[in-house]
């Protein structure tokens, strides 16, 4: 522990800024992928099934990364894993701009996904362990709000860059700034709770078993169900959003413009959730925002006019991303320090399985000739299942001191 004693703790705002900046670059990469898929479909003459596989390979990598890096974060520390995952994501993302075949592009997207999937639960764990209980939930949701900023920037890049300069330049623009975040993270101290509990570490297998011990089994089941349904619906809907707009008859540039407008609604979604989460609690915010997501998804899928499409798309962004923020705040609070990153990482990994199936499902059902409204109805039902899990299995953790 001696090497941590002289480590000066960062202020809450500085910690949020450093962790949030890299979170924003992660979101830029995931966001730009949805636009790149639409551009690749035209350039490489991809089938809907191949388009679905691009999104799913990204999620396969995220599932592996969340599990592997989550369990190692409880062994070697949050900061080390934070740095490794960001480096992996940045390099693979930059290289993917130079690919000329679908196979190589998908291989690199797997490694991008590994970095992303590993970083996100570890980042939320580190921040939640470094902030006081009374504002922990709000700060973690604000950390998640950087995701909306990243998506917004990716939508702007897609709108202004892809039509004139191509998808390769867009990918490079989103990958390069992440190296600046690596430089910033060198100054980031590790979680104070991790350094205090360093001597109490057990083996990775012990930690993974503990997550399913009698004390934590109910919490784990709840998280696994919610993560699966949220990620399944999010990636099924949002990675296909520009392509769905094209299917509904809009040009590529017009679809990018409308998705940019919808993306703007993510920020108030996060900020409202951040304000409510310490006022009314995690369960209320999760349930309310997930139900809002389900209703918006149903209306978006069946929309027949442009105005209804845009308004329901904005509501979808508002509620879905607010729910994401609450979920990232809620997950680390379910476990004690020695298994916190393991529990959060395993939950996120199970969720990523949903992220694999969601885009594939859309691709296969579109190929089979199913209506978009019917497809979005499936996501609507999945989200309601997640709501029931929170209602009946979840416990309120508002302002409760971490174990």
Q: What are phi and psi of 280, to 5 degrees?
A: -115, -10
Residues 109-117, mean pLDDT to the nearest whole number: 91
Asked if the model's pLDDT at residue 187 lies above 80, the reply is no
pLDDT, tens digit (0-9, with 9 covering 90-100), for 225-282: 999 999 999 888 887 887 888 888 888 778 888 888 888 888 899 889 988 988 888 8
Asked if the model's pLDDT at residue 322 lies above 50, the reply is yes
Q: What is the mean pLDDT of the chain?
A: 85
Residues 369-394, mean pLDDT to the nearest whole number: 93
pLDDT, tens digit (0-9, with 9 covering 90-100), for 126-182: 888 887 877 887 888 888 888 888 888 888 888 899 988 999 999 998 887 667 767
Given this model, what pLDDT does residue 152 score?
84
Evaluate whether 187 touches 82 at the Cβ level (below 8 Å). Answer: no
Given this model, what pLDDT does residue 97 score?
92
What is 12-185+203-393's CATH superfamily?
MFS general substrate transporter like domains (1.20.1250.20)
Q: Mind spelling out the 3-state secondary structure of the chain?
A: CHHHHCCCCCCHHHHHHHHHHHHHHHHHHHHHHHHHHHHHHHHCCCCHHHHHHHHHHHHHHHHHHHHHHHHHHHHHCHHHHHHHHHHHHHHHHHHHCCCCCHHHHHHHHHHHHHHHHHHHHHHHHHHHHCCCHHHHHHHHHHHHHHHHHHHHHHHHHHHHCHHHHCHHHHHHHHHCCHHHHHHHHCCCCCCHHHHHCHHHCCCHHHHHHHHCCCCCHHHHHHHHHHHHHHHHHHHHHHCCHHHHHHHCCCCHHHHHHHHHHHHHCHHHHHHHHHHHHCCCCHHHHHHHHHHHHHHHHHHHHHCCCHHHHHHHHHHHHHHHHHHHHHHHHHCHHHCCHHHHHHHHHHHHHHHHHHHHHHHHHHHHHHHCCCCHHHHHHHHHHHHHHHHHHHHHHCCCCCCCCCC
Given this model, what pLDDT does residue 106 score?
95
Asked if the model's pLDDT at residue 317 lies above 50, the reply is yes
pTM value is: 0.79
| Total residues belonging to the chain | 403
Query: Whose structure tokens read 């209980």?
Result: 133
Give the C-alpha separation, 322 to 280, whole Å.
Answer: 14
pLDDT, tens digit (0-9, with 9 covering 90-100), for 32-50: 888 888 889 889 998 888 8
Of the given ranges (7-21, 256-270, 287-301), which has the lowest mean pLDDT? 7-21
- For residue 308, give both structure tokens: 């209804």
Query: Whose structure tokens read 């190296």?
Result: 179
């Amino acid at each position: 522990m001696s090497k941590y004693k002289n480590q000066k703790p960062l202020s809450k705002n500085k910690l949020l800024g450093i962790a949030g900046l890299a979170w924003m670059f992660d979101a830029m990469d995931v966001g730009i992928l949805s636009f790149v898929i639409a551009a690749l479909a035209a350039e490489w003459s991809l089938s809907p099934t191949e388009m679905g596989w691009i999104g799913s390979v990204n999620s396969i990598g995220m599932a592996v990364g969340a599990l592997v890096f989550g369990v190692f974060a409880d062994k070697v520390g949050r900061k080390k894993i934070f740095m490794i995952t960001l480096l992996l994501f940045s390099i693979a993302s930059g290289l993917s701009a130079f690919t000329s075949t679908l196979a190589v592009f998908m291989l690199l997207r797997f490694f991008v996904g590994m970095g992303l999937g590993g970083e996100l639960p570890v980042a939320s764990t580190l921040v939640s362990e470094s902030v006081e209980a009374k504002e922990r939930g709000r700060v973690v949701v604000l950390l998640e709000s950087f995701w909306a900023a990243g998506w917004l920037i990716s939508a702007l890049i897609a709108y202004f860059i892809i039509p004139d300069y191509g998808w390769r330049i867009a990918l490079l623009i989103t990958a390069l700034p992440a190296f600046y975040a690596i430089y910033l993270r060198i100054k980031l101290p590790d979680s104070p709770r991790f350094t205090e509990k360093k001597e109490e570490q057990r083996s990775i297998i012990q930690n993974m078993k503990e997550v399913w011990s009698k004390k934590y089994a109910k919490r784990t089941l709840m998280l696994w169900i919610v993560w699966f349904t949220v990620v399944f619906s999010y990636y099924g809907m949002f990675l296909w959003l520009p392509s769905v707009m094209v299917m509904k008859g809009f040009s590529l540039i017009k679809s990018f413009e409308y998705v940019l407008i919808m993306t703007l609604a993510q920020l108030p979604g996060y900020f409202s959730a951040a304000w409510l989460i310490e006022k009314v609690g995690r369960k209320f915010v999760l349930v309310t925002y997930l139900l809002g997501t389900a209703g918006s998804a149903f209306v978006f899928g069946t929309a027949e006019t442009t105005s209804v499409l845009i308004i329901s798309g904005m509501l979808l962004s508002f509620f879905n991303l607010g729910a994401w923020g609450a979920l990232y705040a809620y997950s680390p609070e379910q476990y004690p320090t020695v298994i916190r990153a393991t529990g959060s990482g395993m939950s996120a990994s199970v969720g990523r399985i949903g992220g694999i199936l969601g885009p594939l499902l859309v691709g296969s059902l579109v190929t089979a000739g199913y209506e978009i409204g019917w497809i979005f109805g499936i996501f609507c039902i999945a989200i309601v299942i997640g709501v029931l899990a929170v209602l009946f299995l979840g416990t309120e953790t508002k302002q409760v001191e971490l174990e």
